[in-house]
Amino acid sequence: MSTTSQKHRDFVAEPMGDKPVTALSGIGETLGKKLEDQGFDKASVVLGQFLLLKKDTEMFTDWLKDASGANSRQAGSCAQCLKEWCDAFL
């Protein structure tokens, strides 16, 4: 995606620290709740999953769609957000 949302920019701008999973770009209330129910209560845990999948955005997108019922756009946005965060801070 060439244009990024404010949420994306906010997330990628600083270390995620203890941010909740809803701070991720593309993850709203509903999806966040679903992820939390599965144990992904913080953005860092989702980052963990992303890293487990070897930072492959495609696989991560697939996983996210499975796990939370996100659509392509939301999952892609989240993956992109995490990828950029990793590029900046990891």
Nearer to another protein, 12 or 75 (CB): 75
DSSP 4: -
The reply to whether 43 sits near another protein by the rule CB under 8 A is no
Which two three-digit tokens encode residue 27?
A: 């993850």
Nearby residues of 30 by Cβ (< 8 Å), 6 or more positions away: none
The reply to whether 52 sits near another protein by the rule CB under 8 A is yes
Shortest Å, Cβ 41 to another protein: 14
3-state secondary structure of 20: strand
Angle subtended at Cα 52 by Cα 50 and Cα 58, rounded to the nearest 5 degrees: 50
Give residue for tokens 């953005």: 43
The reply to whether 69 sits near another protein by the rule CB under 8 A is yes
Shortest Å, Cβ 29 to another protein: 12
Binding site for another protein (CB under 8 A): 30, 49, 51-54, 58-59, 62-63, 65-67, 69-72
